[in-house]
Structure 1
Amino acid sequence: MLDQILCIDDDPITLMLCKKVIIRSSFSNEIITSQNGEEALNFFNTIKYTNNKINPITQPQLIFLDLNMPVMGGWEFLDYFNSTEFEEFNTIKVVVLTSTIDPEDLEKSKKYPMVIDFLSKPISQSMLEYLKEKLK
């Protein structure tokens, strides 16, 4: 079981479904959410600039990332997250979880070293079982 995961998606129903499936599967102890890439980057900046040894902020071990979101989409998030500014988080794995079926998106995702998989919505228990094995 993971300690913490981050779900980045602009759809509240998708986020609610993710939480329910993840809790039911005992996949993670804690689920945090962001509604777009910018909100997620702000979360990582909070960890980076306000973390201290007395009261450390836990960083997620896995990110579920939607691609199509307002404000900042998944690709833009990955561009920033893959930069040297966020290199201290480069051990965090990313699973693109999207409704797109464009093969070009799948190929593009392979350019990002932190992306370990590209899966279609909605999230399911079998998907989480598959990811548990992959993350061992």
Structure 2
Amino acid sequence: MLDLILCVDDDPITLMLCKKVITKTSFSNTIVTAKNGEEALEYFDSIINKKEDTQLPQLIFLDLNMPVMDGWEFLDNFSSNKYSKVNTTKIVVLSSTIDPEDHEKSKKYPMVIDFLSKPITTNMLTYLESKI
């Protein structure tokens, strides 16, 4: 079981489903959410700027297609030196896209450990347990 997961998606129904499935399977103790990449980066900024040790998420579920800041922009920013203290967190792209180019593009980011299709399922979490 993981201690903390961050789910980044603009769809409130997807976020609710993520929370339900993760809670049902006891995959993580705590689930934090962000509605887009910008909110997710603000979350990591708050961790970086705190004086005391704050727990990092052990896994991020990241949607690609979001307003304000999409998943690709998040990955580009998260890969920068500014986030070098926190970008060891593993990321699973969880998207509705079926474009093989997106799948290939995600491989250029070392923190991305998998690319899975929405919606999240209990079988998916069982599969991911072996990769984390």
1:111 equivalenced with 2:108 (yes/no): yes
Corresponding position of 1:24: 24
Give the whole-Å Cα distance in 1 for the aligned partners of 2:87 and 2:45.
Answer: 14
Give the whole-Å Cα distance in 1 for the aligned partners of 2:15 and 2:123.
Answer: 18
Deviation at 1:57, TM superposition (A): 2.3
Gaps of 5+ in 1: none
Give the whole-Å Cα distance in 1 for the aligned partners of 2:110 and 2:87.
Answer: 9
Deviation at 1:50, TM superposition (A): 1.6
User: TM-score normalized by structure 2?
Assistant: 0.98
Give 1:52-131 correspondences, 5 Å limit: 52=52, 56-131=53-128
Corresponding position of 1:13: 13
Gaps of 5+ in 2: none
Aligned residues: 132
Deviation at 1:5, TM superposition (A): 0.3
Q: What stretches of structure 1 move > 6 A for 4+ residues in a row?
A: none
Give the whole-Å Cα distance in 2 for the aligned partners of 1:64 and 1:30.
Answer: 13
SS at match of 1:6: strand
What is the percentage of aligned positions where both structures have the same residue? 68
Give the whole-Å Cα distance in 2 for the aligned partners of 1:84 and 1:105.
Answer: 24
Give the whole-Å Cα distance in 1 for the aligned partners of 2:95 and 2:122.
Answer: 16
User: TM-score normalized by structure 1?
Assistant: 0.95
CA deviations over 1:18-42 (Å, ceiling 9, x no partner): 0000000110000000000000000
